[in-house]
Structure 1
Amino acid sequence: MQKKLPGLMIALAIAGGANAAPPASNEDITKRHFAELLAGPQPKTAELTMFFSMMPKGGDLHHHYSGAIYAEQYLEWVDKQRFCVDKASYQIVTDAAAIAAGRAKGSCLSSSEVIGDNAMYRELLQRWSIKDYANHGALQAPPDRQFFDTFGYFGPVASSNTNEGLLTLKQRALQENLGYIETIFELAPFTQSADFDRKVAQPGADLAAQLTAWSATLEQDAAFKQNIANYLANVKASSAGLDDARFTMRYQAYVLRFLSPSQVFSSMLAGFQLASQSPQIVGVNIVGAENFSVSMRDYALHMQMFKFLKTKYPSVKLALHAGELALGMVPPEGLTFHINDAITVAGADRIGHGIDLAHETNALGIMKTMRERGIPVEINLTSNDFIAGVKNQAHPLTLYRKYGVPFVISTDDPGVARNNLSGEYVLFASRYKTDYAEVKKLSYNSLRYSFLAAGDKQRLIKALDGRFTQFEADIAAAHKNTTAAKP
C-alpha cells in the first residue's frame, strides 16, 4: 500500500515535483532583464536609459556646482542681477555704466531679448556649454578649450542665486532617483603675498619654513578670518531647505591650480579650515585645467602644500583632480607622476579622473596602493571623452577594473556637458562588459566612498536598501508582464 505523502511534499508535487526550483527572486529577475538589455550585437540603449533612470543611485561624488547649472538658468539670472549679455562677445556685462551704454546702443541684451533672437540664443547655448559641438561643422575651438572657456561666460552669475540653483539640482537628482550629491561648490577664499611667491620660487627654498610662516600670518589675519566666516554663512544660506529624507547634499571647498603660489596656498588653508569648522563641508579639492602652464609648473609644489596642511588637519578629506591628461596635451614627462603624487605626497582620499594612469611611471604600484588603501577613482566618461578624447578601451577604467581598484561613476559638469548620472551609467554599460551585480555595487560604492559622516552614510545606505527592493520589484513585475504578453 502506498504511503501518504506529507502535506508539503504533496504541494511540491502539485507544483511540479519535489525537486522543482524555488521561484526566482526579484533581484534574479532584474539580473536577467539587465543581461537581456546588453545581449546581442548592440546594447538596447533606450531601454538602458529607462532602466538607469529608474535605478536608485546612491551619489554623485565628482560634481561641480557651477558646471552643473544649465546655461538656460544662468541666462535667467542675468536679468535677476540686472545685467545684460553683450551681443558681439556673448559675455555678461556687470558694470552699471557699461550696461547703460550698451542698452542705449542696442548692443547689450536682456535674457528675453536673447531668447527672442533664435540665432543668438542658439549661439549662446553653444558657447556657454558644449551643446551641438559634436554635430556642428563650423570652425571650432579645441574641445578642452571649449569646455573650460564656458565658465568664463556664466562666471559673473555663477555665485548668485545659489539656493535656487541647488534646489534645481535637487529636483533633477530626484527625477533620476539620485539621493546624494557631493558638490564642488565655491572657491575657497584666498589672498596674495608677493614676498611668499618670490621666496618659494628661489632655488633651494626651505618650503616648510615658508609654509609655516605664511600660514601663521594668515591665521592671525582678520580679513582672512572674516572670509572664512562669510563662506560658512553662504553655505548655510545656500543650502536652506535642501536636505530631507529623500535627498542630501554636501560640499567641497575648492582651490584653483593656476593661481599664484600664495593664492593657492591661502585658498588651501581656507579650505582646510572650512572643512574643520562645518559638517556640511566634507572635503577640499583642487580644480582647473591640468595642462595650463602654471598648473603643470606648480603641480609638485601644490602636492607639497597639501601634504603640509594634511599634517596639520589630518581629519580633512581630499578628493583631488589628478591625471586629467592625455598623450599630446602636454610633453610626455608631464604624464608620469600626477596621480602618484596626489596619493603618496598629498594624501588624496579619492582621485578625480585619473585618465593618464597608463603613462605614469609607477602605474602598477599606484593601483596596488589604491586597492589596498581603498582609494577610489571618480570616473567621468562624457567629460573624459570630450575634453581629452579618451574613451572605450583607451580609457584606463579597463585597468582600474582589472586590477581591483575601486571606482565610482560620476558626472563632472552636467550643465556644461548636458548629461546626467543615468546617462553616465548607460555609457558605462554600453561600452564595457558588465552585469547587474556590478552596477548595483557601483551605486552603493558612491555612498561607501563618500565623505559623509558615519551616521549620514549609514542612513543613506539603509534608505538605498529599501529603494533597491522597490526598484527590483517594479522591474520584476514589468518583466513578467512583457513576458506574458508575448505570443
Structure 2
Amino acid sequence: MKNNIKALALAAAVLCAMPQAHAANANEEATKRHFAALVAPGKEPKLAELTMFFTMMPKGGDLHHHYSGAIYAEQYLEWVDKEGFCVNKTSYTIEKTKPAAGCLSGQDVMNDNTVLANLLQRWSDKDFYNHSGIQSPPDRQFFDTFAYFNPVASTNAVDGIQRLKQRAIQENLSYIETIYEIAPIAQDADFDKKALAGGVSDADFAALSAKLDQDQAYQGWIGAYLKNVETVSAGIDDANFTLRYQPFALRFLAPSQVFAQIASSFKLATSNPKIVGVNIVGQESVNVSMRDYALHMQMFKFLKTKYPSVKLALHAGELSLGMVPPEGLTFHIKDAIEVAGASRIGHGMDIAHESNPLAIMKEMHDKKIAVEVNLSSNDFILGIKDQAHPVTLYRKYGVPYVLSTDDAGVSRNNLSGEYVLYAARYQPDYAEVKKLSYDSIRYSFLADVDKQRLLKALDGKFAKFEAEIAGADAKAKR
C-alpha cells in the first residue's frame, strides 16, 4: 500500500512538472529562432538587437580580466582628486602634487571637453581610429596607457571593486576572475647574472626560494597582499555576484624579480581561497619577454611541482607575424601547457604558427585546457580579427574557449560587447553562445561548491531570460 502511495505521489509530481518543462523548452526554442534571425547568414547582423540581446543574456564569468585595465579613466580622475594629485595639462601624466597652473584636478579635466578628449586618447584606446593626430603603433598605444593611470591604480581599491561589481550586475555578469595587483617582488643579483648566462637549474630556483623565505620585507609584502584582498573583498560576494583574484608577475623584469613574483603568487594562492590562480603579464613581444620566455616556463614548472594544486592561467601566444622573428611564434602556447602546466591560456593567438599546432590543439581538447579569447584587444593590439582570428581554429578542432574582456576600461568595452563581436563575426547559433556562458563558469578556477552554485543560478537566470525573449517575440509578431 505504501509503495502504491509513493508511486502515485511520484507520478503526480512528474505530471505537475511536465507543463513547466514544456514551457521552458518552448521558450528556449523561441529564443533560438529569435537569435538566428539576428545573425542570419548572408545578411547584415542586427547589431542594435544583438547588443540588447547580449546585455540581457546571463553571462557566467569574465575569466581574463585585468583589474587596473578594467577601471575607466573617468573613475581614475575621481581618484586623482581623492588622493590630492593633479593631471599635467601638457603630458597628461599624474603628478603627486596639488593642482596648480598647468596641473589640473580630475574634476577640472572632466569639465573641459577638449582636455578630457585628449586625456582619453592617452589613457585608453578611445578615438584611435577617429582622428588624424600623430600616433604610436596600436600595441604601444595599448600598453602605454597603464603608465598614465598607474599612480592611482592601486588606490581606492574598495571603490574600484564595488564599481566593477555594479557594472557586472548591470550587464548580467555573475563572476569575475580578476588579475589583481602585482605580486610581491625581490631581486638577487647573483641569480640574475647566472640566469642571463643561461646557467640556472632547479637547484638555483631552490636556493633563491630559500633566500626569499628569509627575506622579511618580501614576506611582509605577502602578508600585506593578503590583507588587501580581505579588505577589498569584504561584502562583494552575494547571490548576484562572485569575485576571485589572481596575483601576477611582470614578464619584462629581471629574472630574479620574475621568479620572486611567481613564487609569492603561488604562496598567496595557497593562503587564501579567494586567490584562485596565478598569472604572468606584460607585452609578450618586447625583448626581455621573448628572451626569458623559456626560463619563465621553467620557473612555473619548478613551483608547480612544489605547489601542485595551484592553477595557472598564463598569457601565452599574444603575438602576430611580424611582431617578432618567425621562430618566436613557434612554442609559447606549447611550453605554457607542457612545461609550465597551465590550466588555461590567455589569448593563444599564435597557435597557427606553433610547431605541430594540431597536436597542441588535440592536447588542449583532451586535457580541457581552455583559451581566454579577447576579441577587442586582439583586434587592436595585433590587428587580428574576423577569419584571421584563431578562434576559428579552436572552434573547428574542439578546443574549449571562453569570451573575456582583457582590459575593458582601456578598450572602452564590456563583456556584452565581446559577445556582440563574436556573434556578428562568426554567426554562431544560440546553443553555442549559451554554452560559452556556462563554460565561463565550468573553466573558472572557482572551488567546486561555488562553481555548482553559480551553474545552478545560471539555470534560473536563463529560464527567466528565455521567457522574456519568447514573450517579447510573441508580442512583436501580433
Amino acid at match of 1:254: F
Q: Could you say which residue in structure 1 is the equivalent of 2:32?
A: 31
Within 5 Å, which residues of 2 pair with 1:112-151? 112-151=107-146
Within 5 Å, which residues of 2 pair with 1:349-428? 349-428=343-422
Q: Could you say which residue in structure 1 is the equivalent of 2:193?
A: 198
Matched, 1:152 2:147: yes
CA distance in 2, matches of 1:147, 1:202: 32
Within 5 Å, which residues of 2 pair with 1:262-411? 262-411=256-405
Matched, 1:168 2:163: yes
Q: Could you say which residue in structure 1 is the equivalent of 2:241?
A: 247
Q: Could you say which residue in structure 1 is the equivalent of 2:106?
A: 111
Shift of 1:112: 2.1
CA distance in 2, matches of 1:385, 1:38: 21
Shift of 1:185: 0.7
Q: Could you say which residue in structure 2 is the equivalent of 1:438?
A: 432
Cα-to-partner distance string for 1:383-406 (whole Å, 9 max, x where unaligned): 000000000000000100100000
CA distance in 1, matches of 2:266, 2:214: 16
Shift of 1:456: 0.3
Amino acid at match of 1:343: I
Contact 1:59 1:178 in 2 (8 A): yes
Amino acid at match of 2:395: R
Structure with greater Cα Rg? 1
Shift of 1:206: 4.1
Cα-to-partner distance string for 1:75-117 (whole Å, 9 max, x where unaligned): 11001001111111111012xxxx26x72xx021111222233
CA distance in 2, matches of 1:478, 1:88: 51
TM-score (norm 1): 0.92
Q: Could you say which residue in structure 2 is the equivalent of 1:67?
A: 69
Amino acid at match of 1:142: P
Equivalent position to 2:206, from 192, 209, 212: 212
CA distance in 2, matches of 1:346, 1:253: 16
CA distance in 2, matches of 1:186, 1:65: 8
CA distance in 2, matches of 1:111, 1:28: 50
**CA RMSD of the aligned region, Å?**
1.1
Secondary structure at 1:76's aligned position in 2?
A: helix
CA distance in 1, matches of 2:196, 2:203: 14
Shift of 1:241: 1.7
List gaps (5 residues or longer) in structure 1.
1-21
Secondary structure at 1:25's aligned position in 2?
A: helix
Within 5 Å, which residues of 2 pair with 1:446-465? 446-465=440-459
Secondary structure at 1:345's aligned position in 2?
A: helix
Cα-to-partner distance string for 1:208-259 (whole Å, 9 max, x where unaligned): 1110100011112222211111000001111122111110000000110000
CA distance in 1, matches of 2:90, 2:39: 47
Within 5 Å, which residues of 2 pair with 1:251-262? 251-262=245-256
Amino acid at match of 1:282: V
Secondary structure at 2:176's aligned position in 1?
A: strand
Contact 1:31 1:437 in 2 (8 A): yes
Equivalent position to 1:52, from 39, 54, 61: 54
Shift of 1:192: 0.7
CA distance in 1, matches of 2:232, 2:119: 27
CA distance in 2, matches of 1:267, 1:253: 9
Contact 1:370 1:405 in 2 (8 A): yes
List gaps (5 residues or longer) in structure 2.
1-21
Amino acid at match of 1:454: D
Identity level (%)? 67
TM-score (norm 2): 0.94
CA distance in 2, matches of 1:293, 1:260: 12
Between 26-35 and 110-119, the greater mean CA deviation after superposition: 110-119
Amino acid at match of 1:43: P
Secondary structure at 2:477's aligned position in 1?
A: helix
Amino acid at match of 1:425: Y
Between 110-119 and 286-295, the greater mean CA deviation after superposition: 110-119
CA distance in 2, matches of 1:482, 1:195: 72
CA distance in 2, matches of 1:207, 1:82: 48
Cα-to-partner distance string for 1:247-290 (whole Å, 9 max, x where unaligned): 00000001100000000000000000000000010000000000
Contact 1:340 1:362 in 2 (8 A): no
CA distance in 1, matches of 2:373, 2:200: 37
Within 5 Å, which residues of 2 pair with 1:5-16? none
Contact 1:200 1:210 in 2 (8 A): no
